[in-house]
Amino acid sequence: MRLSRHFLPVLKESPSDAQIVSHKLMLRAGLVRQTAAGIYAWLPLGQRVLRKIADIVREEQDRAGAIELLMPTLQSADLWRESGRYDAYGPEMLRITDRHDREMLYGPTNEEMITAIFRDSARSYRDLPRTLYHIQWKFRDEVRPRFGVMRGREFLMKDAYSFDLDEAGAHHSYHRMFFAYLNTFARMGLRAIPMQADTGPIGGDLSHEFIVLAPTGESEVFFDKQWEEPVSRYVVDYDDKDALMEGFYNMLAPYAATDEKRDLPKEQKIGGDLKQSRGIEVGHIFYFGEKYSKPMNLRVQGPDGSEVIPHMGSYGIGVSRLMGAIIEASHDDNGIIWPDAVAPYKVGIINMRIDDEACTAAADDLYARLQKAGVEVLYDDRDERGGAKFATMDLIGIPWQIVIGPKGIAKGVVELKRRKDGEKVELSIEDALAKVTEA
Ligand code: ATP
Ligand code: MG
């Protein structure tokens, strides 16, 4: 994409209404604009990153055996009366009346709807286990929407729901999601620590929150220092029930919880191996048994012909919140440093002198060849000073930047810069092309 034709409204100054760095940078880099309290429009660059985050989430859900569908944002109040949550949910729920005076709501979550959908067609034990998920907008009328997309009112969530014949099966489904989550966040360059959590308004008895450490995070957390060690992906066989369970318990051996009092060995004190910090909740998984299946009358026929009430779990990831969390974890004074996996473009080309024929010919040619190679490239061909172009590329966080200037071109070289560490090398155009294509 040529920057001269793009819609990429970057801001020079930090907006005064933004308190935390990710919110400031999201506004400055032209990723989002607020359209109402806690409601955001995703500008082209933000939309590209949001899609990449959602794609990673989707791939890891699919790999763990979950099946994608898409449920609507609007739901009927009657559905929520079946579980008893319509009255219980409180003012976070946006309630709407249609022209026929039917009570509707903008879904804050989808346990009721998925249970009803599953109930319609699941008949026997052969229809289980199943885990279904969607990536869909949610609305929660938060008292204090803040920190940009971090705590919005409308936000994008991946929510999955598992249906199993018994508790042991439901635990296997839970363990699948547990590892799928670790892999999802690792692919985005995040260290998300699974922490024992309160089961909250959804209720239940097995629950973990995935927390990215950040001083600006809303949750206070306690964890063993082992959790700070970086990790890569976990190679697991999602179908191997026993190995998965063993991996799960091994993984959770070092202490991590959102409340210090939870199961903390007595001898542990903050200061030694136990650390206290703040963190951002990017995901939350629950096992809650028959909490919805029972009142909503979901029944299937078991292998021996008897009626079985399926055990359920639900598994959320804050897809839009993740963008804020990634920026909190990866930025510097100049702007965002996108991990390659979610960057809006992999390569940026900076043409230092659009009035110089040789420069422009070289930059145009490189741009065409990168596009042909299928590399996502943003070409700064604007009539602007070099300094402004450098600042923009760094602000919007493009991982690889190729600078083309008249002096270099005269020698047959360009400069390749890595946004992450600022490392710069002079290379021939061919070598630069090969390097970024292979990376
Ligand atoms: P929180 O404690 O932050 O309000 P929650 O426990 O209400 O979160 P869940 O119902 O488990 O959240 O939702 C799943 C995920 O959706 C959360 O882990 C979080 O990443 C994301 N999420 C929840 N509320 C918001 C919000 N207001 N804005 C953006 N993302 C959110
Ligand atoms: Mg909440």
User: In terms of DSSP bridges, do strands 377-380 and 347-351 run parallel, antiparallel, or are they unpaired?
Assistant: parallel
**Predicted confidence (pLDDT) per residue in 326-367, tens digit:** 999 999 999 999 999 999 999 999 999 999 999 999 999 999
Nearest-CA residue for atom 3 of ligand 1:
281
Taking the C-alpha atoms of residue 394 and residue 380, their distance in angstroms, rounded to an integer, is 12
Sequential DSSP letters for 344-393:
S-SEEEEES-TT-HHHHHHHHHHHHHHHHTT--EEEE-SS--HHHHHHHH
pLDDT score at 104: 98
201 Cβ below 6 A of ligand 1: no
152 Cβ below 6 A of ligand 1: yes
Taking the C-alpha atoms of residue 347 and residue 335, their distance in angstroms, rounded to an integer, is 16
108 Cβ below 6 A of ligand 1: no
SS3 (DSSP) at 246: helix
What residues pair up with 95 in beta bridges, in sequence order? Answer: 105
Backbone CA torsion sign across 292, 286, 65, 54: positive
Angle at 43 between CA 33 and CA 213, to 5 degrees: 70
Nearest-CA residue for atom 28 of ligand 1:
151
Q: Identify each DSSP E strand in 55-169 by its residue range.
A: 67-68, 74-76, 94-97, 103-106, 130-139, 154-164
SS3 (DSSP) at 14: coil
pLDDT score at 272: 78
Sequential DSSP letters for 396-425:
TT-SEEEEE-HHHHHHTEEEEEETTT--EE
28 Cβ below 6 A of ligand 1: no
Which of 437, 351, 361, 363 lies closest to 400 in space, CA to CA? 437
Distance of CA 305 to the CA centre of its chain: 42
Neighbours of 384 (CB within 10 A): 17
Which of 165, 158, 102, 114 lies closest to 310 in space, CA to CA? 165
What is the H or E stretch that residue 33 is in? strand 32-36
Is residue 399 within 8 Å of 344, Cβ to Cβ? no
Nearest-CA residue for atom 26 of ligand 1:
151
SS3 (DSSP) at 268: coil
What is the H or E stretch that residue 54 is in? helix 44-63
Taking the C-alpha atoms of residue 187 and residue 360, their distance in angstroms, rounded to an integer, is 36
pLDDT score at 197: 83
Q: Which residue out of 195, 220, 284, 317 has the highest number of ligand 1 atoms within 8 Å of its CB and is therefore the one to mutate?
A: 284
CB pairs under 8 A, 24+ apart, for 88-96?
88/201, 89/201, 91/141, 91/143, 92/140, 92/141, 92/142, 93/140, 93/141, 94/139, 94/140, 94/141
- Residue 239 dihedral angles phi and psi, to the nearest 5°: -90, -10
Taking the C-alpha atoms of residue 343 and residue 418, their distance in angstroms, rounded to an integer, is 13
How many Cα neighbours within 13 Å face the side chain of 269?
3
Taking the C-alpha atoms of residue 58 and residue 55, their distance in angstroms, rounded to an integer, is 5
279 Cβ below 6 A of ligand 1: no
- Residue 320 dihedral angles phi and psi, to the nearest 5°: -75, -35
Q: What is the pTM of this model?
A: 0.96
* Burial of 36 (C-beta count, 10 Å sphere; 0-12/13-18/19+): exposed
Report the nearest atom of ligand 1 relative to the CA of 109: 10
318 Cβ below 6 A of ligand 1: yes
Is residue 320 within 8 Å of 51, Cβ to Cβ? no
Domains identified in the chain and CATH numbers: 3-336 (3.30.930.10), 345-438 (3.40.50.800)
Taking the C-alpha atoms of residue 233 and residue 182, their distance in angstroms, rounded to an integer, is 7
Those residues whose C-beta lies under 8 Å from the C-beta of residue 170, and which sit 6 or more positions away, are 162, 164, 287, 289, 311, 312, 313
Is residue 67 within 8 Å of 163, Cβ to Cβ? no
If you measure from the C-alpha of residue 364 to the centroid of ligand 2, how many angstroms do you get, rounded to a whole number? Answer: 48
142 Cβ below 6 A of ligand 1: yes
pLDDT score at 159: 98
If you measure from the C-alpha of residue 318 to the centroid of ligand 1, how many angstroms do you get, rounded to a whole number? Answer: 6
Neighbours of 313 (CB within 10 A): 25
pLDDT in tens, the chain (439 residues): 999 999 999 999 888 889 999 999 999 999 999 999 999 999 999 999 999 999 999 999 999 999 999 999 999 999 999 999 999 999 999 999 999 999 999 999 999 999 999 999 999 999 999 999 999 999 999 999 999 999 999 999 999 999 999 999 999 999 999 999 999 999 999 999 999 887 665 555 689 999 999 999 999 999 999 999 888 888 889 999 999 999 999 999 899 998 877 777 666 677 778 999 999 999 999 999 999 999 999 999 999 999 999 999 999 999 999 999 999 999 999 999 999 999 999 999 999 999 999 999 999 999 999 999 999 999 999 999 999 999 999 999 999 999 999 999 999 999 999 999 999 999 999 999 999 999 9
If you measure from the C-alpha of residue 33 to the centroid of ligand 2, how many angstroms do you get, rounded to a whole number? Answer: 22
Nearest-CA residue for atom 29 of ligand 1:
151
If you measure from the C-alpha of residue 164 to the centroid of ligand 1, how many angstroms do you get, rounded to a whole number? Answer: 25
What residues pair up with 41 in beta bridges, in sequence order? Answer: 33
Q: Walk across the sheet containing 74-76 and list its strands.
A: 74-76, 103-106, 94-97
